[in-house]
């Protein structure tokens, strides 16, 4: 039996490859970064073979070089992800994502009675790394929740 190819998505000329994403998190990251809302070409690989992780997800975004601030948002879903910036088919920069101390304006509070859910107030969460998951504490209602397995944004 032939082994499945480790990389089943084609190379890009210019753009960003987010690699080593924990399985099941790629779609959440694409939605969080709102790459599903514009006309950029985004390739998503789910459950790809990985030497270090067993299985992983991967995202390629053409013609976008991700900033470190955007990369911070990825860490909330997958702290071990790596970001590769590509120009002319070559990796020009590679960095790990870092958990931000706080995240502003991009996620929704899991508490339906939170003022940010009923009024148009930007959300703000303190980010706390637990041993197995990332916890978010709402600045407005103090509600603490994790994004694991939830679609709260
Ligand atoms: Zn809240």
Confidence of residue 21 (pLDDT cuts 50, 70, 90): very high
Distance 119 CA to ligand 1 centre (A): 11
pLDDT digits (tens, 9 = 90+) for 88-134: 999 999 999 988 899 998 889 999 999 999 999 999 999 998 777 78
State the average pLDDT over residues 76-80.
Answer: 88
Q: Confirm if 133 and 79 have CB atoms less than 8 A apart.
A: no
Distance 46 CA to ligand 1 centre (A): 31
Confidence of residue 148 (pLDDT cuts 50, 70, 90): low
Nearest 5°: the CA angle 111, 33, 59 is: 125
CB atoms inside a 10 Å sphere around CB 99: 15
Q: Please state the length of the chain.
A: 153
Distance 9 CA to ligand 1 centre (A): 39
State the average pLDDT over residues 125-151.
Answer: 84
Q: Return residues with CB closer than 5 A to ligand 1 (ion).
A: 109, 111, 114, 138, 140-141, 143
Distance 32 CA to ligand 1 centre (A): 18
State the average pLDDT over residues 62-90.
Answer: 91
Distance 13 CA to ligand 1 centre (A): 42
């Amino acid at each position: 039996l032939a082994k499945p190819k480790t990389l089943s998505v084609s190379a890009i000329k210019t753009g960003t490859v987010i690699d080593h994403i924990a399985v099941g998190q790629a779609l959440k990251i694409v939605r969080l970064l709102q790459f599903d809302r514009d006309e950029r070409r985004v390739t998503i690989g789910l459950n790809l073979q990985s030497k270090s992780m067993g299985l992983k997800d991967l995202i390629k975004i053409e013609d976008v070089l991700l900033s470190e601030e955007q990369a911070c948002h990825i860490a909330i879903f997958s702290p071990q992800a790596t970001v590769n910036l590509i120009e002319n088919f070559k990796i020009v920069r590679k960095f790990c994502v870092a958990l931000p101390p706080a995240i502003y304006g991009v996620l929704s509070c899991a508490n339906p009675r939170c003022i940010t859910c009923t009024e148009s107030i930007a959300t703000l969460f303190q980010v706390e790394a637990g041993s197995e998951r990332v916890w978010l504490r709402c600045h407005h209602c103090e509600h603490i929740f994790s994004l694991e397995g939830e679609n709260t944004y």
